[in-house]
Amino acid sequence: MKKAHLLWTLLAVCLFVPNLLWAKNYVISTAKTSLVLRTEPGKRVDFVYYGSRIDRVNDIYDTRSAVNWNAYPVFGTNCRAEHALAVTHANGDLSLELETVKVESYKDEKDGGNVTEFQLRDKVFPFYVKLFYKTYEDSDVIKTWTEYSHKEKSDVVLRKFASAYIPMLANDYWLSYLAGQQNSESDLYEEPINRGRKMLGDHDGTRNAFKTHASFMVSQGRPQENSGNVFGGTLAWSGNYDISFVRDYSHGRLEITAGMNPEMSHYYLKPNEVFTTPEFIFTYSTEGKSGVSRQFHRWARNHQIIDGTKTRDILLNSWEGVRFKVNQEGMDKMIRGISELGGELFVMDDGWFGDKYPRNDGTSSLGDWVLCREKLPNGIDALINSCEERGIKFGIWIEPEMVNSKSELYEKHPDWVVRQPDREPTPGRGGSQLLLDMCNPKVQDFVFKVVDDLLQKHPRIHYIKWDANFSANNVGSYYLPKDRQSHFYIEYHRSLQKVLERIRAKYPKVIIQLCASGGGRLNYGLLPYFHENWTSDNTDALQRLQIQWSVSMFYPSNVIAAHVSRSPSKGANNPSSLKFRFDVAMTGRLGLELRPETFSESEKLFAKRAIETYKGIRDIIQLGDIYRILSPFDKENLYSTQLFATPKKDRAVFFAFCPYYRRNQPTPALKMAGLDPNRNYRIRELNPLNPQKPASINGKVVSGRFLMEQGVVLQWEKGDRQSAVLELTAE
């Protein structure tokens, strides 16, 4: 062969072979799932497959000829399709068409995830997009997010900027999602996804889990707890969001697009600035909705929640006991009460602060985070001492993003509130609550200082409850430039995260509870800074059974604060026994929300025993695997059941609730799930009303297979709201 010819051949091979290697499927796998994307230089990224793990990629049938499987569709050259991204370029052009430049894979040493990064650019404009997919092997979870940047002559306006686009193909889709409002958070809705567009979304501005949650599951066929193929997704963002489900008209494809809500949030991206979307987290299970939950829980504990693999303390919170009527005597009684019951922590809620304006109700004082000496003359340290003398820890409530117009802070800084300059702001709670403008770095410093001052002065504060009781009602920022007001919704939450990062850098150990008028802020965007979430201000055990059930679809039990309160609880006329209330609360992070000094002797004894019992099983409940069985939302069920098991399946706790008793109702055998069919379990009844007369199954040793296939028949007394808890220990 001639020298020149050889050189040309070599050159061709060098240029051509990498391309050949490039035109390939990227198989992004976890232990049990695979996501397959395909691309080559100069081409878009195609979405090929997501589901159970596939090792032999060649076997994947290429559906691209039938449907348009774009992994990240953009507005511009197929304007009728769903799009994840839409922009206005510096020159006014609206179009985008992305091509792959490079693909990289690497490990994120911080959290152990494996990242595949697709680097794309527009075919015409210097506009760049990066798609990230990070896998968590241990939990079968994938995180995806997107980055944009450009080198155009002036700003590019981002008009839609979704974190993720997931197409899927099945015959029958069912959506399960949570919706509600304060005191009835997290109702579970399940419905078929038919043709058209279904939206989950929120534009409250500060709290995004009231209308709907940014979490959902899509089942193929009617959703089942312990069987069936289910996709689960959740957007890790605390601000306004938009998740759409569009059923394709011709091929039955379902398109899911999830990201920040772009409404009134168009973003002016400067040349070279990088815009990063929130993370969308998804998983897939062939073991039904509970399977998806277990995967989310494992991932959240291992990677997304502070101290996620640790159990939480049993606490008493003062709110329902005394509300704003905080005083020395009342606090002392509660401290004594919870320590005598065997609790581990006391939390003083709202009502402890305000000097010039003491906090006696919701009308004043937010912003003035100084102790109200009138109410607590001995100071916070005396309360901490009193806790420590009794062997428990101390926690305190704050609402640092808010201010009342009747406060010293507002008198000094009226321009720190979220409002429009030419209108009077519409206040919230108490007719005077306003939101501080987190976009303003001075406000960020102030909010940081609220926590910093408290912890500097009282380093023995072990726990903080961080509340947020108002929306962004009068959107307008004195700090943001006039032509950047549309950045408010995004900047607010980015700034909040910045402050939380500063707090966590300095105080990584302090337990912080996430609260927003109950569970209004439950999302995986904020949980990396918090240990747990206040699930709802509704502590009525009957409704809590439902609320905690649906929250458990996405969040593990060590995040679900569940408190026993008085009966009937405020706002609900559903009296229930102390046992029922304890049994319901024990499916989450157990706490109390009442005045123990009002207990009778027998109630004290019961509560003490229950707390002791919980200590012995809380690792199974808070850190174990959940198997929801009979749903409290299902009107067909007379009972509601769930089981928590250790991953080794050597210990488990089974909960059975009978919310409404019906005379002569059939008492079916209640089947368990999640046990080892080949092991025998010794059964012990927990929290029996009369320890001398436990259920007849107490002490029996029964095979796991029997318990799952045949079930247990429990004896129920007459009357509403009964429950039984069984501990199972493998022999």
Closest contact distance (angstroms) between CB of 427 and ligand DGJ is 15
Site for ligand DGJ in 239-278 (CB under 6 A): none
Closest contact distance (angstroms) between CB of 521 and ligand DGJ is 10
Burial of 379 (C-beta count, 10 Å sphere; 0-12/13-18/19+): middle
Cβ closer to ligand DGJ: 337 or 520? 520
Cβ closer to ligand DGJ: 285 or 536? 536
At 728, which helix (H) or strand (E)? strand 722-730
Closest contact distance (angstroms) between CB of 366 and ligand DGJ is 9
Q: How many residues make contact with ligand DGJ (CB under 6 A)?
A: 11
Q: Output the six-digit token pair for 30.
A: 């976890």
Cβ closer to ligand DGJ: 366 or 542? 366
What is the rounded CA–CA span in Å between residue 118 and residue 409? 48
Q: Do residues 126 and 271 make contact, with C-beta atoms less than 8 angstroms apart?
A: no
Cβ closer to ligand DGJ: 211 or 700? 211
Closest contact distance (angstroms) between CB of 70 and ligand DGJ is 43
Cβ closer to ligand DGJ: 267 or 410? 410
Question: Is the previous residue joined to 528 through a cis bond, with omega within 30 degrees of 0?
Answer: no
Torsion over CA of 30, 31, 36 and 41, rounded to 10 degrees?
50
Among 49, 534, 580, 614, interactor with ligand DGJ by CB under 6 A? 534
What would the x/- binding string for ligand DGJ be over residues 410 to 449, using CB under 6 A? ----------------------------------------
What is the rounded CA–CA span in Å between residue 104 and residue 116? 6
Closest contact distance (angstroms) between CB of 87 and ligand DGJ is 39
Q: Of the ranges 136-144, 189-197, 471-479, 513-521, which one interacts with ligand DGJ (CB under 6 A)?
A: 513-521
Q: Is 584 helix (H, G, I), strand (E, B) or coil?
A: helix
Q: Is 185 in the site for ligand DGJ (CB under 6 A)?
A: no
Closest contact distance (angstroms) between CB of 518 and ligand DGJ is 5
What is the rounded CA–CA span in Å between residue 149 and residue 127? 6
Closest contact distance (angstroms) between CB of 214 and ligand DGJ is 20
Q: Of the ranges 97-105, 287-295, 490-498, 511-519, which one interacts with ligand DGJ (CB under 6 A)?
A: 511-519
Closest contact distance (angstroms) between CB of 355 and ligand DGJ is 18
Pairing of strands 511-514, 461-466: parallel
Q: In the 8-state DSSP scheme, what is residue 88?
A: E
What would the x/- binding string for ligand DGJ be over residues 362 to 401, using CB under 6 A? -----------------------------------x----
Cβ closer to ligand DGJ: 142 or 347? 347
Cβ closer to ligand DGJ: 466 or 492? 466
Q: Output the six-digit token pair for 529.
A: 């800074």
Closest contact distance (angstroms) between CB of 397 and ligand DGJ is 6
User: Which residue, judged by CB position, is nearest to ligand DGJ in the bound state?
Assistant: 350
What is the rounded CA–CA span in Å between residue 375 and residue 404? 20
Q: How far is CA 243 from CA 47, 259, 260, in A?
A: 19, 6, 8
Q: Do residues 230 and 222 make contact, with C-beta atoms less than 8 angstroms apart?
A: no
Closest contact distance (angstroms) between CB of 467 and ligand DGJ is 5
Cβ closer to ligand DGJ: 517 or 567? 517
Q: What is the DSSP string of 409-452?
A: HHHH-GGGBS--TTS-----GGGTEEEB-TTSHHHHHHHHHHHH
Q: Do residues 185 and 122 make contact, with C-beta atoms less than 8 angstroms apart?
A: no
Q: How far is CA 665 from CA 93, 497, 631, 637, in A?
A: 68, 52, 18, 11
Q: Is 174 in the site for ligand DGJ (CB under 6 A)?
A: no
Q: Is 407 in the site for ligand DGJ (CB under 6 A)?
A: no
**Total residue count of the chain as it appears in this document:** 731
Q: Of the ranges 470-478, 510-518, 647-655, 686-694, which one interacts with ligand DGJ (CB under 6 A)?
A: 510-518
CA neighbor of 673 nearest in space, from 288, 295, 216: 288
Report which residue type is found at 701: V
Cβ closer to ligand DGJ: 344 or 350? 350
Cβ closer to ligand DGJ: 563 or 721? 563
Q: Is 319 in the site for ligand DGJ (CB under 6 A)?
A: yes
CA neighbor of 189 nearest in space, from 213, 221, 170: 213
Closest contact distance (angstroms) between CB of 343 and ligand DGJ is 17
Q: Is 469 in the site for ligand DGJ (CB under 6 A)?
A: yes
Site for ligand DGJ in 691-710 (CB under 6 A): none
Q: Output the six-digit token pair for 625.
A: 């695997």
What would the x/- binding string for ligand DGJ be over residues 323 to 352, using CB under 6 A? --------------------------xx--
Closest contact distance (angstroms) between CB of 527 and ligand DGJ is 17
CA neighbor of 245 nearest in space, from 191, 188, 175, 189: 175
What is the rounded CA–CA span in Å between residue 685 and residue 692? 11
- For Cα atoms 561, 566, 569, give the angle at the middle one, nearest 5 degrees: 85
Cβ closer to ligand DGJ: 119 or 363? 363
Contacts of 603 (CB under 8 A, 6+ apart): 578
CA neighbor of 506 nearest in space, from 440, 558, 439, 454: 454
Q: What is the DSSP string of 605-661?
A: HHHHHHHHHHHHHHHHHHHSEEEEEE-TT-TT-S-EEEEEE-TTSSEEEEEEEE-S-
Cβ closer to ligand DGJ: 155 or 349? 349
What is the rounded CA–CA span in Å between residue 630 and residue 206? 34
Cβ closer to ligand DGJ: 73 or 180? 180
Site for ligand DGJ in 514-533 (CB under 6 A): 515, 517-518
Cβ closer to ligand DGJ: 350 or 583? 350
Closest contact distance (angstroms) between CB of 27 and ligand DGJ is 45
Among 537, 583, 625, 727, interactor with ligand DGJ by CB under 6 A? 537
Closest contact distance (angstroms) between CB of 349 and ligand DGJ is 5
Closest contact distance (angstroms) between CB of 350 and ligand DGJ is 3
Among 202, 225, 401, 467, interactor with ligand DGJ by CB under 6 A? 467
| Chain residues that interact with ligand DGJ, rule: CB under 6 A | 319, 349-350, 397, 467, 469, 515, 517-518, 534, 537
